Each structure stands twice: as C-alpha cells, then as structure tokens.
Structure 1
Amino acid sequence: MSQLDRATRRRLVAAVAGTAALAVTACSPPQPGSAASSVTIAETTAPSTLDPQGSGLFADRFAWQLSYECLLTTSADGTVKPALASDWKKSDDGLTYTFTLRPDVKFHNGETLTADDVVFTFERLKKSPDGIDTELFPTWSDVTAIDKSTVQFRLKAPDAGFVNNMANPLVWGCAIMSSKAAESGNPDTTMVGTGPWQQVSYRADSELKFQRFGDYWGTPAASEKLNVLYMPNIATQVSNLKAGKVDLIFPDSASAASLKGNDKIVVDKAETDSTIFLQINNMAKPFDNQLVRQALALAVNREELAEKAYNGGARPSVYVPPSNAWAPKPSGLPNSTRDVAEAKRLLTEAGYPKGFATTLMYISGYDPGTDNMMALMQHQLAEVGIRVELVPLEAAAWSDKLTKPDYALSWNAQSYYSNPYQYIAPAPGRQGPVPASLQKLLDAALAAKDQESYQKALVAVEEEEARTVYPTITLLATDMYAAHDSALTGVEVPPSQSRTFLAQVKHD
C-alpha cells in the first residue's frame, strides 16, 4: 500500500483517457487478417507510450509485456521463476544480488543480450519520469556488469521484495532493453525486446501488430501473428467479436453477461489480484481509537459486497490477495469476519453506545460495482450504529482530499503488485504514524533471508494490521472477463492480468 495511491491515480488517468478517446475514435476498427495462424484481440485503452520506462499507467503494460521480458518472472501462484536470468544469488547480508544471464538470448534486432544491456536498462530507469526506480527499488544503490553474462545489483539496505519486483510479469520497472536499439531508435513507438512477439507496426490509438519471433529463447508463440486493436467502446468490441472480426476481448461484467448463451463465443471469468479497500484516517476522531476501528472492521460483510455489488464478479480478500496460496483468508485473521454484536460492544466500550456519524468518500462510477458497493457498506455500517454520509466525488477531487489527507473514510483501489509487500505497507501521509509494533514487523519482513521466510514475515504483518485495523481494511479482489471465439485455445488470464498468455493462444 506504500504505492497504492500513485498506482490508483494512474489507473484513473488511463480510464479518463479511454473515455476521452471514446468521443473521438471511429467505431469501425481496422480489419484484421483472417488467417487461422493470426490472432486478433481488442483492448479498451491504447498505450500512451511503448517505452517500458516512460509511464506508470497500468494499461500501458499490456503492450510492453508482449515484447519485453525481465530477468525473472512470477507464475500465477506467486512463485518467482527464472526468465532472462537462469540463476540468481543473494549475499548473506542481503545487500548484493548476482544474476547469471541465460546464454544466447537474442533481441528482436538480432543483438545478443549481455550484462551491459542490463546495466544500461537500470541506469536509464533512474531517469524515468514517474520515479519508477525509487518506487519499486527504494534501497537499490548501483548495478555492475561483472562479465558479459553476469550482473550484480547492490542495495543500501536489505529488501526481501527486491526479487519480486524484478519478476513483475507486467514488466513494470524491470523490462530489459537493448542499449543499441534504445539509443539509435525511438522506444516511444518501437519495442525491441526479447519476448516471443516481435513488433511489426504501430498506429497510435489504433493498431499494434506483431509476428512470431523466430529466434526466441523459450517456447515459440503458438500463432504466427498477433494483432491488437484499440477500441475504447466496449459495445464496438462486442459487435466485432460476434461478427468474427476480433477473436478475443476483455469485456465488463454486463457485456460478458450479454454474450453468454452464444454457442460461438466462450466467456471466461478470471480472478485477479486487483483489490478494493477502505482507507481509514486514524488521525481523525473517532478513528484514532483502535476499538472504533475494530468495530468498523467487524461490521463489514465481504461476501455480501462481492455477491450483491459485483454480481459475483469479486471475492472476499484481506491484505494480500487470495491467489497467493500462502496468504491468510479473511477467516484466518482477527476482525475480518462480520460480527454485529461484537462491533456494538466495542463501540460501547469506546464511548459510543449510540454509535456516531461519519463520511465515506469515493469516486462515483469508478467501475460497475462501486456505487452499489458504497450503498451496501452504508447499510452494513448502520446496523452497528455507524451512520455514514456517502460523498461521491470526481477523480481529481477525491485524489486531492486523499493526499492532504482530508477525509474520515475513503474507498480506494489498487492494481496488481508482483511484490506482496506493496499490498500491506502503509502509505505515508494517508494516516497517522506507523505503530512501533508494526514497524518492527515490517522491518523484519524486508530483512527476510528467502521467499519462504519473507512470506511468513508478511503474514505476521497482516495479522498485526488486522488486529489493530491499521492502516486499511481490504475488502475484495475483483475479477475480469475474457470473451473469445470458441475455436480459440490457450486463453488463461493469470491473476496479474498479464497478456503474456497470448503466446500460447491459437485457433484449434
């Protein structure tokens, strides 16, 4: 959560950009190829740049990951695995990470990947406009090429999540670039990576074309060509899917429901690691009282929010999303299962036997479930005596109040993080100082020696945050939908929403 508000604002900017594009983009998309060896998909939001270091917008990453790769990657269950690096080691003091590069990896321009390209990539990252380097690698000091196939990173302080951020399947902050291509070409419009897809052409806000990369080091792409069409209007995507002009789309819940029953189209629901949570300003009364925060947490019925607000398109979640098998479920954490009687008792003990009034701000219409969710929460909290006035806001006004901070309770949302620490770390300035007991646990997590001990340490952090109900109450993990031609195989969207699965998609 240390980066959640910045990430949320980026998602909001992408959504606003998509809405604006809707007003000016023609409804008739470019005609895709009809060959069975070609797959055509539609995306709602076009990338603002193809430079993997040039933006923090979540939607931009869906294009980058088709061409670029990182030294490591993360599987659907959260396991860190080798990618461009075949091996890595951490020093005993946790300050040095040494990566051995996979041999004979080729960039799309024919150049061989070397340690110098890795050094170039991360030195360039220090100049990223959004400060991506400090956001993802806050303790990183320097990077050195030991030899052509070995690269070493030094940290100023231990960070057990360093490898997790180096393994982002969305390639955010870790995409390895060709030094020659980046310096001689234009990364804003042309991607030269090491991935299974080689860029062929790009028409801004319209179409991005790829072909299978013949010298790919891993499993070759299942189809010869991939075409990505940018259609901000979901209805246009649906009509093109029905007409056979597009093979795969990612519809909203209402559009997905409208496609069910069509024997030529398959609609899949994919569980994601994007979460919705309640931000609590514990610098404002009465939320400075832990008993009040505990009562607030016990008033929430996550199952009802998922079923009624999102029509089953979400799942109950606590801090680390449920796709991580090692992470606790709501039933395994204190103050995370609804108990109206206990909530009322705690309010009485806190000096509020008749409850109290407060406000809850949110972005109106952020997604199809937000407004209904806020109304349901208002009802749930009223049952324990917390009388909530809902305050719907435009995105800019909401963000301004959140960052001051000028709110009591606030809805919030965040997209996928490859490093689970980012789901639980308090965001500076959004609430009061981090309690000493929690800070000690956070420091212990960062100093963990390996992934298993890191996960155990993060569970201890979750338990403490749930006990004290600080800094937030995570409510739900949302789902997404993929609708595709019934002849298409290999459509398996991971919790990260990464589009790397497209390399395995083909016509049966």
Structure 2
Amino acid sequence: MHLLRLAHCLVLAGLLAPPLAAQVVEESLARDPGPLDFIQGDGYEQWILQSLAGDALVGLSPAGQVVPRLASRWKVLPDGRLSFTLRPEARFPDGRRVEAEDVLWTFQELLRDPKASPTKRAILEGTTVGSDRGTPWIKSPRPAQRLLLELARVPVAQRQHPDRGSGPFSLRKESGAWVFTRREHFLKPQVDGIRFRLLPDGAGVMTALQKGWLSIGYPATRRQADPPPTHRLVTQPMHSQLVVWSRSGPAPLRWLEHWRRDAFPPRLLGLNARPSRGLWPETLGFEVRTIEAAEPRPEAPKALRLLYLGADEGVQKLLLALRERARRDGCDLHLEPLEQGLLVARLQQGDFMLACSSVIFDPHPWAVLEYLEPKGPMNFTGWGHLQLEDLIGKLQRPGDPAWRELQSLWARNPAALPLLDFQSVIWVDRRLRVEPSPLGLYLHTPGAAGWRWEP
C-alpha cells in the first residue's frame, strides 16, 4: 500500500511540476469545462477559460468599476444607444483585427442559438445591435450603466469561430490539461502561462498544494489557516450571503438582525464567513443600513420555524449556533431541514414562516432588484411598493439619490435579511503576486494578465 501511494505521488509530481526555467502558474479545475466556446459555453470553469482567451467590450476593475477592455472608450448617444470605439491593436490569434462585425456576430449568435449560454442570453434580452461606419452599438431596455456592468461578462468571439477570442492568453488543449500561453496583447500579461489540471478530488488538491505542485489552490476548510512554507494565505470577499426570508413581516428579522451580531463563534465561522452588517451586500457598493422601525423592537417571539437546506452541514452548524443565541432571549428557533428541490418549491410557493438559503449575486448593484421586483426570482414574499417602478426607472450609478431612496424603502419594511457574508480562502505561491477581488482572481480586469512572479 505504501509503495502504491509513493508511486501515485511520483506520478502526480511529474504531471504537475513545471519545467524549472518556465514561469508557468500551475492551477487546477474541479470540473471539466468542456471545449472553449464563447457562444454555448457556460459555468464557472468555462468563464475562467473565456476570461483568459477572450475580451469583452468592457471589463470590471477589482473594485467592480467599469474599465476599458476591447473598447477604449464608449458613449451614450441621444437615442439611448451605447456606442463603442474598438482598440486598433486588439487582434485574434490569427493576427486579424477585432472589428465591429465580430461584436455583432457574437451578440446575434447569443440571441439566435437556442443552445447559447443562458447567462449571456439573459444579459442581451431585448437588445438590438448594429454598427455605424465600423463602430458597434447596442441598445437595451436596461439603463446604460447596468448594461455596461453586465457586458463585462460577454466576451467577443471571432466571426464564424465561436472557439476563438482575442484575450491575453492562447489556449492549447493537452491530455488532461488546459495550457494557456501569453501572447501579444494590450493588457501586457507578465506570466508566461497558466496550466490547469483536472483535480476533482479535494484531497488531491491538498496533496498538490502541500507538495508545492500547485501555485494556486483552495485548501480544505480544516487546514485553511496552515499553508505550507511555499505559499501564503489570501482571502477574497464574495458577492455571496446566507439570507433569511420572512413571510411573517419584518418583526422576526429584527430579532435575527440582533442575534447575528454575536451568534456565531469565530472558530465556527473560520475564514470563510463573517456576520453581515447591513441589508444588501457591501461588496456591491451598498452602505451599511439597519432595519428602520418607528417602534422599539417587540418582545422576542416564543417560537420561530426556519426552513434550510439539510444537505449543507456547514450551514446547519451555523444555524444551530443561531438557535442557541435565540434561546437566550426565550425564543425556540425550530430548524426544519429540507432537500434542495423541496426547499426551492416551498420558497416559490411562499409556504414558509422563515426560510434560509445561500445566495450568489450577480456582480452589479441591480442584482438586489431580484428581491424587489414583482417577478423577481428572489421575491418569495410578494414584497412591493407603490414607488418601486418609478425609482427603478431612475436608477443610474450606485449611491445616487434613487438608489439611496430605494434602500430606505426596503429598510423600513424588509422581506429578507442576510446573516453572513461569505469569502473565499486561497493558498498562493509566495513568489506570485495576484490581486484578490469579489470577482475572483480571473474575472476582473486585468485578471491573470496582471499577475507577476517575484524573486
């Protein structure tokens, strides 16, 4: 048995260890992303591939601000169209310039192809596209600022070549590996390349990290704070929260807001979560707001019933700690575990008193409208307000008066409350400089093109 383990380790070392002279970042993928495809490809692993091999018209900075990418500049025309000026130096791997026809073909294919990425189709829903003397434009029913933020997730493919983008790295598929090599590009990538191996087993990732065979990796929860000498610990905030919805009005949420402050022991939270402070994600640019009420908090309820996903052991432990905190105020918080399909059904039917689920928000402030709009996918309580439609039509930049007024409406009568803000924990080679972000290491601009090796 020991000889077999040694042989396995030697084989894994041979597969993962880079040539000594190369400055290649060694990474892993938990799932096979499938072929690189800017039209039909979807899912987290595919997005990583597309972020390396492709460029969208605009990018998002690590802080979530719109920055130039394929387009060096843009403007809103009097008729509401967004017009983009493309970089003359942006080129595909065959040397051909990125032109308006490539932008139009990509967007039209995403709208035409029934197998196109659902994420990108949703972004482009209701849009029209065209070009004016070589300058591409797009018109959408969405506000220009929101559309710009969302277009950062739609890389442009070469016309008639859905597998070909203009990104800072070119992809070469090898047996069991996806190898990206830097190329001439306006982002000027500094690492020679990135090689991904398929490692679906968490134990395999831990072995590779501890042996120094991976430059970047996600450690097992119990070992997060103990990286090997070759690596350092990096944390990233995420656009993700543990949220509770209430069909019983804001009164139970006011008590949950009180309990979340000290319900969760640090040893239980570890490095992956911290108690939420406000009502909407701070990572999306929202200021911390608490529930506003004219009356003092009422007496704690004698009992509350909370539905949650029973298969998530981590969340279950956190909710048990919340139950103990509620008990100190005389409330019996009854926890009812459900399987995924049944929990979703109960939420959609409004068949609950309190219900809890993890939420991943799209990387822009408009994502919170899913709580508020009548047909919003997270409006499980029928929340509404007479001023809602008027305010949504006025939303522009985060922090403007319409956004603040909308947040005030919610604060006075919320239907949901976040308990925890999640963050990711990564081990990174000490010689490799990366920029953490709520978007992850890859999906912002410059992303991996901004990494560099240091002695």
TM over 0.5: yes
Structure 1 segment 132-171 matched on structure 2, within 5 A: 132-133=119-120, 135-138=122-125, 140-148=126-134, 150-156=135-141, 158=143, 160-167=145-152, 171=153
1:480 aligns with 2:424: yes
Distance 1:157 1:243 in 2: 49
Q: Counterparts of 2:225 and 2:157 in 1: how far apart (Å)? A: 40
What do residues 118-151 of structure 1 show as CA deviations (whole Å, max 9, x unaligned)? 111111112355533453344x331002132x11
Which residue does the alignment assign to 1:248? 216
What's 1:502 paired with? 448
Q: Classify 1:252/1:464 alpha carbon distance in 2 versus 1 (closer, same or farther; 3 Å).
A: farther
Q: Partners in 1 of 2:213 and 2:142 — Cα distance? A: 52
Q: Give 1:435's aligned residue.
A: 384
The residue identity in structure 2 corresponding to 1:481 is V
Shift of 1:85: 0.8
Indicate whether 1:235 and 2:235 are aligned: no
Residue 79 of structure 1, CA deviation: 1.4
TM-score by length of 2: 0.84
Map of 2:238 onto structure 1 = 272
Q: Is the 8 A contact 1:294 1:335 kept in 2?
A: no
Show CA shifts across 1:72-124 (max 9, x none).
1111222111111111112456x321111111310123221011111111111
Does the 8 A contact of 1:362 with 1:392 survive in 2? Answer: yes
1:263-286 Cα offsets, whole Å, 9 max, x none, are 222122222222221133x3xxxx
Give secondary structure in 1 for the equivalent of 2:187: coil
8 Å contact from structure 2 (residues 303, 331) kept in 1: yes
* Counterpart residue number, 1:16: none
Tell whether the 8 Å contact from 1:272 to 1:478 is kept in structure 2 after alignment.
yes
- With over 3 angstroms needed to count, the CA separation of the structure-2 counterparts of 1:452 and 1:413, relative to structure 1, is closer
Match of 1:410 among 349, 352, 355: 355
Are the aligned partners of 2:308 and 2:357 in contact in 1 as well (CA < 8 Å)?
Answer: no
Distance in structure 1 (CA, Å) of the matches to 2:34 and 2:315: 26
Give the letter for the 1:393 counterpart: L
Call closer, same or farther: CA 1:271–1:61 in 2, change over 3 Å.
Answer: same
Per-residue CA deviation, residues 449-483 of structure 1 (Å, 9 max, x unaligned), is x5256x5433332232222112x212222111221
Partner Cα separation in structure 2 for residue 165 and residue 485 of structure 1: 32
In the alignment, which residue of structure 2 is the partner of 1:40? 26
Number of residue-to-residue matches in the alignment: 432
Are residue 101 (structure 1) and residue 86 (structure 2) matched?
yes
Task: Give the Cα–Cα distance (whole angstroms) in 2 for the partners of residues 475 and 55 of structure 1.
Answer: 33
Residue correspondence of structure 1 range 29-428 to structure 2 within 5 A: 29=12, 30-35=15-20, 36-48=22-34, 50-92=36-78, 95-126=80-111, 127=113, 128-129=115-116, 131-133=118-120, 135-138=122-125, 140-148=126-134, 150-156=135-141, 158=143, 160-167=145-152, 171=153, 174-182=154-162, 187=163, 192-203=164-175, 206-213=176-183, 215-219=184-188, 221-259=189-227, 262-280=228-246, 282=247, 287=248, 289-290=249-250, 292-302=251-261, 304-305=263-264, 307-317=266-276, 318-324=278-284, 326-329=285-288, 332-334=289-291, 342-345=296-299, 355-365=302-312, 369-426=314-371, 427-428=376-377
C-alpha separation in 2, matches of 1:302 and 1:53: 44
State the one-letter code of the partner of 2:171: Q
**Distance apart, 1:246 and its partner CA:** 1.8
Q: CA deviation at 1:60?
A: 3.2
CA deviations 1:39-94 (Å, max 9, x no partner) are 2112333325532443553343222211122111111222111111111112456x
Closer, same or farther in 2 for the Cα pair 1:403/1:247, shift >3 Å? Answer: same
Instruction: Provide Cα deviations, 1:160-190, integer angstroms capped at 9, x if missing partner.
Output: 41111112xxx3xx111111322xxxx3xxx
TM-score (normalizing by structure 1): 0.76
Q: Aligned equivalents of 2:413 and 2:340: distance in 1?
A: 29
Matched letter for residue 385 of structure 2 = A
Mapped partners of 2:137, 2:330: distance in 1? 56
> Structure 1 pair 223/156, CA: closer, same or farther in 2 (3 Å)?
closer
CA 83–363 in structure 1, closer or farther in 2 if over 3 Å, else same: farther
SS at match of 2:238: strand
CA distance in 2, matches of 1:310, 1:362: 18
Partner of 2:3: none
> Residues 119 and 246 from structure 1, CA distance in 2 versus in 1: closer, same or farther, beyond 3 angstroms?
same
Q: Which amino acid aligns with 1:180?
A: Q
Relative distance call for 1:264 and 1:131 in structure 2 (3 A) is closer
Change in Cα spacing, 1:89 to 1:378, as seen in structure 2 (3 Å) is same
Q: Which runs of 5+ in 1 are unaligned?
A: 1-25, 348-353
Output one character per residue of 1:323-359: Cα deviation in whole Å (capped at 9) or x when no partner.
Answer: 35x4212xx33359xxxx94434x6xxxxxx533423
Secondary structure of 1:180's counterpart equals coil
Unaligned runs of 5+ in 2: 1-7
User: CA–CA distance in 1 between the matches of 2:419 and 2:45?
Assistant: 23
Cα 1:235–1:335 change in 2 (3 A) is farther
Contact 2:263-2:325 at 8 Å conserved across structures: no
CA contact (8 A) 1:306 1:313 kept: no
Say whether the 8 Å CA contact 2:172–2:179 is kept in structure 1. Answer: yes
Does structure 1 conserve the Cα–Cα contact (< 8 Å) formed by 2:53 and 2:168?
Answer: yes
Q: CA RMSD in A?
A: 2.9
